Amino acid sequence: MIDHFFSPVVDETLFDFEDHEELLGNQVVMNTQEKGFPVLEGVRLAFFDVKEGRGAIGNEGTGIGGASIRKEFYKLYSGNWKVSIADLGTIEPGNNIKDTYFAVQEVVGYLLKKEILPIIIGGGQDLVYANYRGYGRLDQFVNLAVASPKFNFGKINDELSSCSYLSKIILEQPCNLFNYTNLGFQTFYNSQEEITLIEGLNFEAYRVGVLKDNSIVEPVMRDADIVAIDMGVVRQSEAPANGNSNPNGILGEKLCKIARYAGISDKVTSFGIYEFNELFDVNHQTSKLISQVIWYFIEGYCLRTNDYPYGSKDNYTKYLVPFENEVISFYQSDKSQRWWMQVEIPTPSKYKRHVLVPCSYEDYLNTIEQKVPERWFNVIRKIT
């Protein structure tokens, strides 16, 4: 069990809402002093906060806002959902930061094996590293999608922090990372060396301006195992509670759309929100936004359709597009109308999970015009 990693939810954060059965505060099973740790049998979604901010560079004080997010979240009405949700409580900071990483890693690994999707409220973005390490026992490659204005490579010899966690994920063995995608980066916060490195590793990065196009965001979320949100990706006027916030960034509405796409994705198995700093919040604006982001993720989760490659090919229409000396196969789901493009890989292969690449209808049309999406080429380069 994992109950020893958690402290109960503080009672005063639970009862600041009306007595209405449709409010989330009356539907989520909680870890409280009175009731104890919840029984996880039948639970599909479990969220918890992590009071760890020692690795958050430039955002000291992050990690203490779990209670304020809960207050806002439990005031929301549920959607037309049929899913069991548990609030596991709080992971307190360890004697040293590695103890906290270990706790998060163990909790995530345990929940994944139970087929329970963890929703993590940070804490510094360095906790993404611990989340990723929680997949270590699954013996599979994973895709990481991060909404952040920075890539956070840091320098090779830097200690693990919110500014260097990505290099630790890439360099430390065993490395199970297949793909990293950044959503919302801002060029002036990233060196040309880092941008070149992203391209050299065949990773993906989309500047904040291009995220207006949902045909980019949706396939990225559909291909991710881990989704992590750095609240610094949202412009300060929309979400002030971040020590590194800035005037440019995405709108709160776009962040909610990203969360909903992540929830709908059959492949996403963990979701985290990081770098919320209650010390900078104004009128609870950021805690309200985060609570709504979680709401939209849950709504998306409840709309999952178990599309291919989890379903049968019989429910898909196949399209063949000649390209140079080969033919690229596209599949469209009869159920959701979503698209995939097939990458031919050697068999047997350790890359079986990446034979189908999520794409959009626009990608299919562009391929007909002999403009194959870069995502297809990236997968080819990684497996050959």
Reported as a single tens digit per residue, the pLDDT across 150-195 is: 999 998 889 999 999 999 999 999 899 999 999 999 999 999 999 9
The string of pLDDT tens digits covering residues 323-352 is: 988 899 999 999 899 999 998 876 655 556
The string of pLDDT tens digits covering residues 61-111 is: 999 999 999 999 999 999 999 899 999 999 999 999 999 999 999 999 999
The string of pLDDT tens digits covering residues 282-332 is: 999 999 999 999 999 999 999 999 886 666 777 899 999 999 888 999 999
> Would you place residue 353 in the very low, low, confident or very high pLDDT band (cuts 50, 70, 90)?
low
What is the C-alpha to C-alpha distance for residues 350 and 364, in angstroms, rounded to an integer? 27
Q: Which domains does the chain have, with CATH numbers?
A: 3-301 (3.40.800.10), 313-383 (no CATH)
Closest CA to 228 of 94, 132, 160: 132
Q: Is the peptide bond before 122 cis (omega within 30 degrees of 0)?
A: no
Q: Report the pLDDT averaged over residues 212-239.
A: 94
Compute φ and ψ for 146, nearest 5 degrees.
Answer: -125, 130
- Give residue 197's pLDDT: 95
Q: Report the pLDDT averaged over residues 47-69.
A: 95
Work out the end-to-end distance of the chain between its first and last CA atoms, rounded to an integer number of angstroms.
41
Q: Is the peptide bond before 174 cis (omega within 30 degrees of 0)?
A: yes
**Sequence-separated (6 or more) residues with CB below 8 Å from residue 213:** none
What is the C-alpha to C-alpha distance for residues 233 and 321, in angstroms, rounded to an integer? 37
- Give residue 260's pLDDT: 98
Interior angle at CA 116, CA 113 and CA 117, nearest 5: 115
Average pLDDT for the chain = 92
pLDDT over 90 for what percent of the chain?
77
Q: Report the pLDDT averaged over residues 219-232.
A: 97
